Structure 1
């Protein structure tokens, strides 16, 4: 990833960039120089919560030391790539180092706005400089210079001249990427000029609520990495994500220049059922009900357009839309949709079956796979005792019933990149695979330990089980994987997990003032630490798999251990629990079979090569600016893709749907054709997954070995009459 790519991604994903509301005319309002009364009150409420041991697991005194920490985090949240502020700016901000604690306590957040005002000025200066470079003759690429794109640990640029040098290389790199993709100079200049304009526009749309949330999070994140503050709007979005449902038209939107376009249609939603909306269509105006006024939303921020389109189930919304294939100045079509409750199925659990061929006389094995991207739960629906509330456990249970009916020989639960979610769901999901017993120990701030477990008799899947994890598996995923490992209920395969061993809860700041509507937001704060039933914590260390794949990312680059204020690893007493099996005697044989198989598995070898190459390139933290060298690298990558595709055909493997892709097109997501971009993403989901297939093969090996060797089976699974017995 280039530094410019990183820079723009920061705009879209950093806490600061929770895009604020534009006014009815679409223009951004002037940024206030001081917080509102509600924001001042919210800051004091956040302080009251995070400094109180009744709420926070590890409260910290808000003093000058913590103020200095906040100061550092706030500056880094604004300028993570150190591409806007100079060392001279930072020196001027030093006056605030010991004032931010008083600012939070007193609700006078003037320092935050003062710093941001300078930041906004620097953004405008940098964008003007970048656009000016496009008119200069600086785009020859025959030297030996390099672009240093990783500036996370770099010092702040000494002065404006040093920043100019950084941005010069960044702009040249943007130009070179587009040139290598076959773009002509005039097109490159036009694309980049619009890109930099949009960068400035994005920051210009920010309002006080964005600055406020970012600043308060510099305090919250200083307490621990997983404590966060949410404005009322961002709290609604967080809760919607957890519930996996919303009320609206069922469309994913994306900003493209000054308009908001349909990125994707959610199956089963009003937009999908109407047949009148498709990817790439642009929203020009929105009206409420049958006769409300149409509001022109061109130039609006995406979250404001979303707010207009979303609404209560059963209500109508009118949309003036220009089709994807028409010019932007074409006459729009008016579409009327009735809002409904929409389930976000793309983020729900899904299943498939992988067939493992016969080997050494052993029969074919059919392994069911359940992919679970998150431990979601509709908390409000559950409180109402609704029959159809979203629940990861309920969805997985249904899929297990189907897989059992399909007579699979084993099940792999794929938790890769599952960042967690509901603690209750992790416990209940574990209960689908064990009869009864403890699942997790939870230690509160006062030191009291509670044991939470599965109290229901019965088991949804008694047969062979494997859990696939990687560095992106965190929190609830680690509770589940750790419990399965401690019970000896299944094999854990993959990479060591993230290492997040803490529990968070959402606390509504409006609970005390008893407001009629949301005003002060919510705090997601750490309230406890969880421990495995074996007594060890997953904190920092994560869950170590029984059988390991090559690490795709180093623990020094990603995971809990990379946070400077993460809680340390610790251990408490174990609690009694059943051991269904002990896989230690089986692991050497499984490893031998695994090594032999992947030595012949082209897809697995290619994946391993790609991981090694990626990590080697990432370690360089820079890229050559020599066109001939870059073109040679591109040609090598193209040749490698073509060679692999030829080998796939020769070996009868599934073809990679993206193998003919020409590589880096130099564009950002918002600059591409939306329909084509979505199609490309869908194709990526169909790429060969050698890790998932190998996990299924390992589980099939385990089933075969235990069926063939009764002595080994007695060692591994001594409780043959208990749930979890694998052998026939």
Structure 2
């Protein structure tokens, strides 16, 4: 296994759904500055552009035709990135820019010329400054009428054309101002403090727009170029890459979350298992961070539009100190009102990241639950051949041994929110349930195929198995769940998984060698170089793993998932690997379990209430606009809060994790049915061999 891993890609084992995209601004200066001159690319950025083009054309998994179609894709994606809500450009702006640059960006890309991107970005800055000036003036001179039946269209790139002229654009700004006012009011602000906070926010953002640098324009444009190939290919400037390295090493105190920029917002991309945010259980993937405050009572600073590096610097801090985040929850489709989340900074605790177990009783049956937050591995400990380095496989072996001693009747493996991790561990843990054999296939850009197998571990557990997944289960989690499904080893329950079936590698953008200079690199490129495929031949990419029995969660599938990215690689197939299904669960078994679950759920008042609340939540999420009438806005806000209080992982008032996990309860009912079904077929013991025997039999340095 090690030789395969080493031969494949430099960062093969640390794949995740991490994306660190472009940021737009920097820390707030003390005083507003006059609008600067138009931004223009530096010689270093022109050079970096040429190298980026060569890397993408030659090495990216997707071979994109270099034509006007690519040019239009880059153009549209760039506008969508910097003006997703169609709040800065008018129709005439877009028409003029498209006419001048729409069909030439592909040629500029090949020659490494980013000047077209800079021209578009300069127009964005012009309108952005106009908007902030308008908002500050309107805040002082306008009288808000919150009884008027007005609405604000949301996600206008999907629902509305560009504003016909500046007057129409200003009317859009006026409605946005009312929306922001209502949002702040129902977050907890009152009276004059709302206007004061909004004015400060707009003034700070105007200062930010006036302090833009060429790097901001360059990174924004390069992000539009790279994500036209696929959503996980990114350019890091030298400064951004430094933060990326810190993030991956987890060496600084913080909240334990990976962040990215989407449009003007800092978005939570991943919650790191074992970190403060993970333990607090309030911050979720997809949440938009719109403000950061220090300590228990420090002022919450608006960070909309800030450069990602500067938001990260605000959130990081000494261990034991408090940071407060103002977020728009993804569970509400990032609609208001905002929530204030309190987090105590700390380092990531690897013990908190480790697999954990519990035993629950369902109709007199003992059911073991293994919670696996990620597929973790102490890479350095493995490299040094240490005896007791941390690994998922070791921990799961220990837990299986303990569950065997407890004589459990079945096991639920909980992979909800598991965003991936070590491929080696995913392969080895799969072996603990299916035995030695193929687990996943990898195909590179040249069409070469590699089958990765578990070659070390026999099946330790052969009894009833349910794997619980949700929309946040990605990468390594999907590989494990897909293998269990393809082998017919267990029942997959929950939501469709994320659908990330691609592999990325980090490459440095190096200048040509010269014995007379020692100039630094021009940044780094995170490049998609391969795809994962199930052993049955289909990819996990885009579609993910479809559950055998759907148990829907409150996660919004329109916000979270590979299929929400317009440039994601498609679902494809390759030839089937040579493997033999174990047949623990047949399609007939699945059909029977579905029928039993459906019949039970129809009589379950709690489950029906859950579905009713989910339908209400989806209705609110799917609305193309939001009411600007205070009464309606308040009613909707209260409804969202009530649903979260009833079914969320934590109580919004206390922030404490709830004792009862509703989804686990429902999954236990399915497991009960599976145990009964299997009991009719066989009396075979569920564990073949105590796990401790396997560990004892291995030489030092092995798992």
TM-score by length of 2: 0.74
Q: What are the residue-to-residue correspondences of 1:261-272 with 2, within 5 Å?
A: none
Q: What are the residue-to-residue correspondences of 1:337-356 with 2, within 5 Å?
A: 342-345=347-350, 348-356=353-361
Quick one: which of 102, 105, 113 aligns to 1:100?
105
Structure 2 distance, partners of 1:429, 1:634, is 43
Quick one: which of 603, 612, 615 aligns to 2:618?
615
SS at match of 1:229: strand
SS at match of 1:615: helix
CA apart distance, 1:368 = 1.6
Quick one: which of 649, 654, 674 aligns to 1:702?
674
Determine the structure 1 residue equivalent to 2:55: 49
Determine the structure 1 residue equivalent to 2:410: 410
Superposition RMSD in Å: 4.6
Quick one: which of 358, 362, 383 aligns to 1:357?
362
Gaps of 5+ in 1: 1-12, 256-263, 269-277, 285-299, 311-316, 325-340, 646-654, 662-678
Structure 1 distance, partners of 2:225, 2:509, is 16
The size of the alignment, in residue pairs, is: 614
Structure 1 distance, partners of 2:49, 2:95, is 26
SS at match of 2:141: coil
Structure 1 distance, partners of 2:527, 2:75, is 20
Structure 2 distance, partners of 1:572, 1:395, is 34
CA apart distance, 1:145 = 2.1
Gaps of 5+ in 2: 1-18, 260-271, 277-292, 300-305, 325-345, 691-703
Determine the structure 1 residue equivalent to 2:429: 429
Determine the structure 2 residue equivalent to 1:170: 176
Determine the structure 2 residue equivalent to 1:497: 497
Determine the structure 2 residue equivalent to 1:571: 573
CA apart distance, 1:229 = 1.9
Structure 1 distance, partners of 2:513, 2:378, is 26
Determine the structure 2 residue equivalent to 1:60: 64
CA apart distance, 1:455 = 1.2
Structure 1 distance, partners of 2:591, 2:598, is 11
Q: 1:240 to 1:469 in 2, by over 3 A?
A: farther
Determine the structure 2 residue equivalent to 1:369: 370
Range with bigger deviation, 109-118 or 344-353:
344-353
Determine the structure 2 residue equivalent to 1:591: 594
For the 8 Å contact 1:366–1:409, the answer to whether it is kept is yes
CA apart distance, 1:219 = 1.5
CA apart distance, 1:701 = 2.9
Q: 1:83 to 1:572 in 2, by over 3 A?
A: same
Structure 1 distance, partners of 2:477, 2:614, is 23
Determine the structure 1 residue equivalent to 2:162: 156
For the 8 Å contact 1:539–1:568, the answer to whether it is kept is yes
Deviations 1:315-374 (A, max 9, x none): xx999x9999xxxxxxxxxxxxxxxx943549824424251332xxxx3323223132x4
Structure 2 distance, partners of 1:483, 1:390, is 24
CA apart distance, 1:30 = 6.6
Q: 1:147 to 1:631 in 2, by over 3 A?
A: same
For the 8 Å contact 2:368–2:403, the answer to whether it is kept is no
Quick one: which of 272, 280, 291 aligns to 2:295?
280
Determine the structure 1 residue equivalent to 2:122: 117
Determine the structure 1 residue equivalent to 2:470: 470
Determine the structure 2 residue equivalent to 1:625: 628
Structure 2 distance, partners of 1:631, 1:431, is 52
SS at match of 1:158: coil
Deviations 1:4-51 (A, max 9, x none): xxxxxxxxx983327658999999997883333433332222211111
For the 8 Å contact 1:35–1:212, the answer to whether it is kept is yes
Q: What are the residue-to-residue correspondences of 1:76-225 with 2, within 5 Å?
A: 76-94=80-98, 95-153=100-158, 154-179=160-185, 183-203=189-209, 206-225=212-231
Q: 1:413 to 1:322 in 2, by over 3 A?
A: closer
Structure 1 distance, partners of 2:88, 2:523, is 30
Structure 2 distance, partners of 1:323, 1:618, is 29
SS at match of 1:93: helix
Determine the structure 1 residue equivalent to 2:551: 549
For the 8 Å contact 2:428–2:457, the answer to whether it is kept is no
Structure 1 distance, partners of 2:51, 2:668, is 50
TM-score by length of 1: 0.72
Structure 2 distance, partners of 1:635, 1:23, is 37
CA apart distance, 1:161 = 1.0
SS at match of 1:505: strand
Q: 1:414 to 1:199 in 2, by over 3 A?
A: farther
For the 8 Å contact 2:133–2:206, the answer to whether it is kept is no
CA apart distance, 1:122 = 1.6
Deviations 1:173-200 (A, max 9, x none): 2223444567543122122223333444
CA apart distance, 1:657 = 5.7
For the 8 Å contact 1:419–1:473, the answer to whether it is kept is yes
Establish whether residue 692 from structure 1 lines up as the match of residue 696 from structure 2.
no
For the 8 Å contact 1:220–1:228, the answer to whether it is kept is yes
For the 8 Å contact 1:235–1:521, the answer to whether it is kept is yes
Range with bigger deviation, 589-598 or 165-174:
589-598
Q: What are the residue-to-residue correspondences of 1:498-517 with 2, within 5 Å?
A: 498-510=498-510, 513=513
CA apart distance, 1:563 = 4.1
Structure 2 distance, partners of 1:225, 1:305, is 22
For the 8 Å contact 2:22–2:223, the answer to whether it is kept is no
Determine the structure 2 residue equivalent to 1:669: none
Deviations 1:117-165 (A, max 9, x none): 2212222211221222222343222232222123121222122111111
For the 8 Å contact 2:428–2:456, the answer to whether it is kept is no
For the 8 Å contact 2:362–2:668, the answer to whether it is kept is no
Range with bigger deviation, 202-211 or 540-549:
202-211
Deviations 1:544-590 (A, max 9, x none): 21111247568676544444444333322222223222332322443
Structure 1 distance, partners of 2:400, 2:246, is 26
Quick one: which of 525, 529, 532 aligns to 1:530?
532
SS at match of 1:108: coil
SS at match of 1:620: coil
CA apart distance, 1:437 = 0.5
Structure 1 distance, partners of 2:402, 2:46, is 53
